[in-house]
Amino acid sequence: MKFNILTKLFSINTKLLCLFFIALLLVISISNIACQSALTPTANSLTLWVTYNPQEYEVFKEIAEDFQKDYLKKNGKALHLNLQRIPYDGLMPRLKYACLAGATPDICRVDNAWPLTLAYGKSLIALDSLPNFKSTIDELAQEYVPAAIDSNIIDIKTDSGTWEKHLYGIPDQTNCVALFWNKELFRQSATELRKVGLDPERAPRDWDEFVKYAQILTIKENKQYGFGMFNSLWWSMPFFNTFGAQFVRKDSNGKYICTLDEPAAQQALQFMTDLYKKYGVEAGAWRTGSINPEQGFLNGKYAMILSGPWNLKRFSNIDFGVSLVPAGPAGTSSNVGGQNLVIFRTCKNPEAALDFLRYFSSEEIQVRWSELLGQIPVNIRAFDKVDTSQRPQLAVFMQQLKTARPSPKIPRMDVVEEKIMGPALQLAMQGDKSVEQALKDSAKEINKDFLSLINK
């Protein structure tokens, strides 16, 4: 039963037979690695698959070494962390076949969209079921960035038909997007901005102001636009969130349903569409072959874009500011991205694995991680202790994350993004389908092919 569920979750819209030979080779390869590891004499060890970049990995290794020393001191016995750096691309197919072969690592770093799928595939250990889980889920959640920990808190339907809430991972890395604005372009249009009562020394604070700023900053004879945007689901979440849209909720029968066809979501997508078609301030940066938002911002052609902390260094040659996402009817909000650390059911020492997850995500270690790498800590208690005096823009992202909303809890979000929401957003933005119909069709398909998997 476990393998049947896992296969369904991983194989939506996929011909498994076409992948048979690739799968067989991967299973054999992973099984061989597992056998070789089993022959290696280790008194007490954990194998970790991680996807850090080289700089992150060096810091992570130091933290792992410190944990091993701390574990020995506290427990009177050694614990070896076997770190294996795995390419991010292709990680999930590799994990799929590792699950089927019973050759998963003890701990793995996965995208924050994946704990739901892995939990419903019965591949992960519920952390709250372990003896050394010393608090309630709600109490522990208070330590972390809300939108980051939420991706690990999952409702599971029991055999009796009731729902149980469990924790299946701990945040490892978190990020979101905020509003980047080109200060030089704002200065160039300072006179025009002041004429209509707008301050050229700051970014717009709500969507109404945003439209007014963008209209003045759009100078089409110079091929300059007020805004450039991506229109994938993840990049559209700040709009949906600020308009108060929900993607998923339980109906009166206790079943999960997609609510994209409700008014708040329609208003959000209509506003996105209006930026392009009605107001003419969005550059069409989302269209195939167009200059994408990041490049347009670098070239000084887009005055404002939504982007994340990963671009702070890339944009360092531009005089730019970072501000909160403009507020909508539901206030300012953003999407959330990042990674989680999860423990697989094959783990022989899950209590030690949980000890490591809690150690790495602790306040002290997250301050260290943040200050060494310039990243946002996942532990909310670390926020006040991170020195952002030299990184004021990082402080804006930390503030934005406090109002960020978690990603929709839908199995196989990668497929939902690519096969359903991507085309739907494109059709609506182009005017080939009404906003209402695009969202209605998407909700119907998500209910039928995805949410049905967790309602059974």
Phi, psi for residue 64 in degrees, rounded to 5 = -65, -40
What distance lies between CA 178 and its chain's CA centroid? 14
**What is the structure's pLDDT at 6?**
54
For residue 162, the model assigns a pLDDT of: 87
List Cβ<8 Å contacts ≥24 apart for 205-210: 205/323, 205/324, 205/326, 205/327, 206/326, 206/327, 206/328, 207/242, 207/271, 207/326, 207/327, 207/328, 209/326, 210/304, 210/326
Cα radius of gyration rounded to whole Å, the chain: 23
What's the pLDDT score for residue 41?
A: 35
The pLDDT value recorded for residue 16 is 37
pLDDT recorded at residue 306:
98
Give 341-395 pLDDT, tens digit per residue.
Answer: 999 999 999 999 999 999 999 999 999 999 999 999 999 999 999 999 989 999 9
Helices assigned H by DSSP within 151-206: 183-188, 190-195
Burial class for 436, CB neighbours closer than 10 Å (0-12, 13-18, 19+):
middle
Distance CA 56, CA 59 (A): 5
Q: What is the DSSP string of 290-329?
A: SPPHHHHHHTT-EEEEEE-GGGTTTTTTS-EEEEPPPBBT
**Quick one: tokens of 320?**
């730019």
Q: How far apart are the first and last CA of the chain?
A: 13
Domains and CATH numbers, the chain: 2-175+337-401 (3.40.190.10), 178-335+410-455 (3.40.190.10)
β-partners of residue 341 are 109, 170
Sites in the chain below the pLDDT cut of 70:
1-43
Residue 301 pLDDT: 97
Query: Could you report the per-residue pLDDT of 250-268, keeping only the tens digit for each?
Result: 999 889 999 999 999 999 9
Residue (of 67, 50, 24) closest to 368 by Cα position = 67
Q: Report whether 97 contacts 23 (CB < 8 A).
A: yes
**Residue-level pLDDT at 2:** 47
Q: Is 158 helix (H, G, I), strand (E, B) or coil?
A: coil
Q: What is the value of pTM for the model shown?
A: 0.89
Phi, psi of 350, deg, nearest 5: -65, -30
